[in-house]
Amino acid sequence: MSVLVVGSIALDDVKTPAAEHKDLLGGSASYAAVAASFYGPVRLVGVVGEDFPPEHRALFNARQIDVEGLEIVPGKTFRWSGEYEENLNNRKTLSIALNVFEKFEPKLPAKWKQTEFILLGNIAPSLQLQVLKQVEHPKFIIADTMDLWINLAKADLLELLKKIDMLILNDSEVKLLTGENNLIRAGRAVLKLGPKYVIVKKGEHGALLFGAKTGEFFSTSAVPLEDIHDPTGAGDCFAGAFVGSLAQLGDTSFASLKKAVIQGTLVASFNVEEFSLRRLEKLTREEIAARETAFMQSLSIV
Amino acid sequence: MSVLVVGSIALDDVKTPAAEHKDLLGGSASYAAVAASFYGPVRLVGVVGEDFPPEHRALFNARQIDVEGLEIVPGKTFRWSGEYEENLNNRKTLSIALNVFEKFEPKLPAKWKQTEFILLGNIAPSLQLQVLKQVEHPKFIIADTMDLWINLAKADLLELLKKIDMLILNDSEVKLLTGENNLIRAGRAVLKLGPKYVIVKKGEHGALLFGAKTGEFFSTSAVPLEDIHDPTGAGDCFAGAFVGSLAQLGDTSFASLKKAVIQGTLVASFNVEEFSLRRLEKLTREEIAARETAFMQSLSIV
């Protein structure tokens, strides 16, 4: 089944202690759409400026992502610049230029309104809400968010939470949103705000999946990695591979959600091995399957 | 099979944001011995002063721990006092009084020298080495350590590492010991220092087990807990339940090590529910088994 991905599309400058790269393809929708594309058809909604490089567009084409919902408007593409500290766990944003993103109003092509699996990538909750107004009969709606929106647009975010099936966010964000210091309490507190499910991403420590029904809890480790080159977009890749895998499975049982968490974990683990989407550009389904076998072995107690 | 546990036995004053308790039973050997006792016979080597309260001694008796190796000497018992910050992840030591522990020289009763499973609880590496000189034909030797010894007694610790089968330490300690910022690299770097296996404890994020042979890697989450009252001794309980479970299984295959990691995780999860050893004092094997079932379900992808 098709997946609809909406979010930001950006040109990133990224600096780590080991390297620095400029004009990289970035943005929540870019990462999520490419990650989802390993599992089935993807429909991308976003906006770029006239400066958006053809090679980035070529990647969407190569991954067979449908870009009918990708607007190209006069002006410059959204730009983000960030720098990571020594351990790669902490980063600071050096600059943001919204550019064409400032007036972005997501518009779904008419024939996309019936898409069943929807990923509202990390953008302002007001924009995520605008997308929801346009979809008809969605089967499963997932939203990603970040600390910025929890701090600046909490009312919109709380309205959004009542209208989605699942929220994905990281450990510090879930504590910020709920005011709970304990991750298990925090995850469960989100369920009281509306969504039936919540995923708490913990980076190198894996992810937690909470469901509103009794017994719906799943915990997984991350893939063990010795070499991490750029953590940018790992969370977006997780969300993209999650929704892509879920759409491929075709149902939204808790068992399928768990399988999709594993796929999100796997694709995110590849993404951090190189800057931007360079690793996913080369990634094959066979590589994902091989890593899945090794990963499952590392989690197995037999 | 019997387990030999050596380490500190202390009287603790512990303060958390929610409560404060004094004269609690503490010390690495106390926690580890009680945790191990759920799986089979335990032999305890340690030292206390004449002030050691009868009720603490009664707990060892109630858990059928053999205390023939527990010396009672003139003077006061080792004392530790610590305070936890709001999130319970960080603690500071307020005071330490070594007292009778200052001149402790662990001595194994003659009939204990053939014990096959040895846990060198967290004490100075020089004392851990003294114990090793007394054991004959050990089957599996585990040592726990901490940042204090990595900083102050690294030469002794490195000598110890060449003589043990497994080192257990936490995430910050393994980074300190190896100089590696990445946990996977750090764990593997320990294997080059001598031990065939290393366990990296990550608190609420679970534990990693590394083996020197290809493919020997296991990762588990922690038990999800909403209420943590006192993290003191969780790592010692992990180590104690680990060695107890391994001795009960009777072999040291990688499959058995993985099973023992799960038992360590389970018993540690009970221990943090109350101050000192109060939760383990009441704990039953049936409760461990019930939590194991729920925990295994939370890790299962089917």
- pLDDT mean for each 10 residues of chain B (302 residues): 97 96 97 98 98 97 98 97 89 94 95 98 97 97 96 97 98 97 97 98 97 96 96 97 98 97 98 97 98 96 84
What total number of domains does chain B contain? 1
Query: Which residues make Cβ contacts (< 8 Å) with residue B14, sequence separation at least 6?
Result: B20, B21, B24, B26, B81, B82, B83, B84, B230, B232, B275, B276
Contact assessment for residue A245 and residue A260, using Cβ atoms and an 8 Å cutoff? yes
pLDDT at B88: 86
Alpha helices, H only, A153-284:
154-161, 171-178, 183-191, 234-249, 254-271, 278-282
Contact call for A206 and B202, based on CB within 8 A: no
Q: What is the pLDDT of residue B184?
A: 97
**pLDDT for the residue A89:** 80
When CB atoms are compared, the residue of A86, A258, A301 closest to B258 is A301
pLDDT of residue B76: 98
pLDDT band at A87 (very low <50, low <70, confident <90, very high): confident
Q: Are the Cβ atoms of A226 and B259 closer than 8 angstroms?
A: no
Query: Whole domain around residue B169: which residue ranges?
Result: 3-299
Q: Which residues of A touch B (CB under 8 A)?
A: 86-87, 181-185, 188, 202, 204-206, 208, 215, 217-221, 224-228, 255, 258-259, 262, 296-299, 301-302
| Whether the predicted pLDDT of A138 surpasses 90 | yes
- Tokens for B41, please give them: 């016979």
Cβ contacts of B18 on chain A, cutoff 8 Å: none
Side-chain-side CA neighbours of B123 within 13 Å: the count stands at 31
CATH of the domain at B24: 3.40.1190.20
Per-residue confidence (pLDDT) for residue B90, from 0 to 100: 86
Instruction: Kindly report the pTM of this predicted structure.
Output: 0.95
> Residue A86: its pLDDT value, please?
85
Give the separation between CA A132 and CA A121, rounded to whole angstroms. Answer: 12
